[in-house]
Amino acid sequence: MSAPRGLASSRRSDGVAWLALFVATGALLALSIGAAGNYASVMAAHGTTTVDAAFAVAFVGVDGDGNLTASGAVVVTASIGIDNPSPRTLRIRVLGYSGWIEDGPAAAGLNESRRVADDRLVGPSGTRYFYRAFAESFEVDRPPVGPGSNGTYAFTFNLNGIDNPVRFDPVRNITGYAGGVDGPAWNHWVRVQLAIDGVPPASSPTAAPYLRTIGRIEREEGINLVA
């Protein structure tokens, strides 16, 4: 015995409605799983990415006594290593670097203006004075660091007596007081900002703070004497 026409039509409508609900639920579930996986990979990038830095200082234009000449230069090479165990691709976007040379004349009271202006490192043995020879920050366009890989990037910073004598002359004074360019200690600090590919910045000015920064990773190496 067949079902009444109205009842059969109602059952077909119910079946179509349940099918539509099932498809919509499946789509929402897939989107949710995809979003969760995407968020997890971004958090993995934030939590596992590491940066290390090594610095080499070289001097150009040194006389026979080991002192810098007026036309000499100080060249710092920073080697920045990035380890990216995450499933996301990372790109260096901004690099900030500061380099200080320990200021013996200021510490000895022979240069009061620098003694006041220098940055200081206070430790158990007393206060050490450092002259900030380099202070740079700039945008970077280098090849990316792929998922589960690492990369090393070299950056060179040059301070010379021809282009910037005002900043360079204190370095000459400091190295001369120390008996040569190899005497004074250096302190280096670097800040690296990485962008996570595929994570656009929040466009709304009312977006939560974490949404405005979730697409970038910041790492620092060394001691920032002006922090």
Position 37 scores a pLDDT of 53
In angstroms, rounded to a whole number, what is the distance separating the alpha carbons of residues 143 and 90? 9
Are residues 121 and 16 located together in one domain of the fold? no
Are residues 103 and 162 located together in one domain of the fold? yes
Relative to beta strand 50-62, strand 68-84 is: antiparallel
Which residues are within 8 A (CB) of 47 and not within 5 positions of it... i.e. 6 or more apart? none
Determine the structural domain holding residue 60 and report its residue range.
49-222
In angstroms, rounded to a whole number, what is the distance separating the alpha carbons of residues 223 and 201? 29
Q: For the chain, what is the domain count?
A: 2
Query: Which positions of the chain have pLDDT values less than 50?
Result: 1-12, 15-16, 18-36
Classify residue 227: in a domain, yes or no. no
Classify residue 172: in a domain, yes or no. yes
pLDDT in tens, 60-97: 999 998 999 999 999 999 999 999 999 999 999 999 99
CA atoms within 13 A on the CB side of 118: 27
Are residues 31 and 72 located together in one domain of the fold? no
Are residues 94 and 152 located together in one domain of the fold? yes
Are residues 54 and 94 located together in one domain of the fold? yes
Are residues 115 and 125 located together in one domain of the fold? yes
Are residues 66 and 109 located together in one domain of the fold? yes
